[in-house]
């Protein structure tokens, strides 16, 4: 999203995770939500040297301190449309087709 008249500019996740977390928890409590699920990162932890990972940890701590039941999912890797990892790989494979396999079955990743 770009900044235009009447809208706010998009904030980076490192600002949204710790600042928006309390707002989400309060809204969930007011709405009667019983369980929150937060998608974090496997490497999220305090003082790890990555502002992004540390912001995810801060969001986890907000959820943990809430009065709600909670689940924190900590995948090692997220991928899908727009992920900037497998998207690039799949684009390259479409441009340069590769088939792998042994015997009559071949697989194209």
The DSSP string of 22-63 is HHHHHHHHHHT--EEEEE--TT--TTSS-HHHHHHHHHHHHH
DSSP 78-90: --STT-SSHHHHH
Query: Rounded to an integer, what distance in angstroms lies between the CA atom of residue 25 and that of residue 6?
Result: 27
User: What pLDDT, on a 0 to 100 scale, did the predictor assign at position 90?
Assistant: 73
Predicted confidence at residue 105, as pLDDT, reads 61
pLDDT at 7: 55
State residue 25's pLDDT score: 94
Q: pTM above 0.85?
A: no
In order of start, what are the domains of the chain with their CATH numbers? 1-77 (3.40.50.720), 79-109 (no CATH)
pLDDT tens-place string over residues 54-85: 999 999 999 999 999 999 999 887 777 777 77
Contact 50, 43 (CB under 8 A): yes
Which positions of the chain have pLDDT values less than 50? 1-4
């Amino acid at each position: 999203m770009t900044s235009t008249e009447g809208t706010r500019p998009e904030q980076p996740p490192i600002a949204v995770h710790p600042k928006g977390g309390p707002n989400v928890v309060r809204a969930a409590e007011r709405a009667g939500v019983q369980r929150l699920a937060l998608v974090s990162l496997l490497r999220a932890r305090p003082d790890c040297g990555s502002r992004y990972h540390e912001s995810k940890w801060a969001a986890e701590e907000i959820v943990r301190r809430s009065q709600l039941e909670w689940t924190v999912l900590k995948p090692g890797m997220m991928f899908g449309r727009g992920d900037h990892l497998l998207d690039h790989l799949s684009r390259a494979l479409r441009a340069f087709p590769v088939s792998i396999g042994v015997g009559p079955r071949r697989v194209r990743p």
